[in-house]
């Protein structure tokens, strides 16, 4: 996993949380919220970044929903957002 914590910004994370809470109702998206909340407190936590990436990859078609309301979400994922690279 690449360390992309330098790309993380608390205001972007806070905005992502607000947008997801406001515009999404899909239950599979909701687990992103507590991880994002925790990342606001600790941007460099590798465990949280790994959890975020895992939840993201398991969203399936709902990745599109997230990107619709938070188009920069891909910058929050520490490596290949679609899991294509090994």
Of residues 8 and 82, which shows the higher confidence score? 8
Q: What is the pLDDT of residue 26?
A: 95
Q: Is it the case that residue 75 has pLDDT exceeding 90?
A: no
Please say whether the beta carbons of 21 and 67 come within 8 A.
no
- Predicted confidence (pLDDT) per residue in 30-73, tens digit: 999 999 999 999 988 999 999 999 999 999 999 999 999 999 99
Look-up of token digits 């679609």: 82
Tokens found for residue 11: 């205001």
Determine if the pTM surpasses 0.85: no
DSSP 8-state class, residue 76: G
Q: Is it the case that residue 84 has pLDDT exceeding 90?
A: no
Q: Is it the case that residue 6 has pLDDT exceeding 70?
A: no
């Amino acid at each position: 996993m690449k360390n992309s914590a330098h790309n993380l910004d608390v205001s972007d994370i806070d905005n992502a949380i607000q947008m997801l809470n406001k515009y999404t109702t899909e239950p599979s998206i909701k687990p992103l919220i507590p991880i994002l909340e925790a990342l606001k407190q600790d941007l460099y936590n590798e465990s949280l970044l790994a959890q975020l990436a895992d939840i993201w990859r398991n969203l399936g078609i709902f990745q599109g929903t997230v990107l619709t309301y938070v188009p920069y979400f891909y910058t929050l994922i520490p490596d290949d957002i679609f899991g294509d690279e090994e």
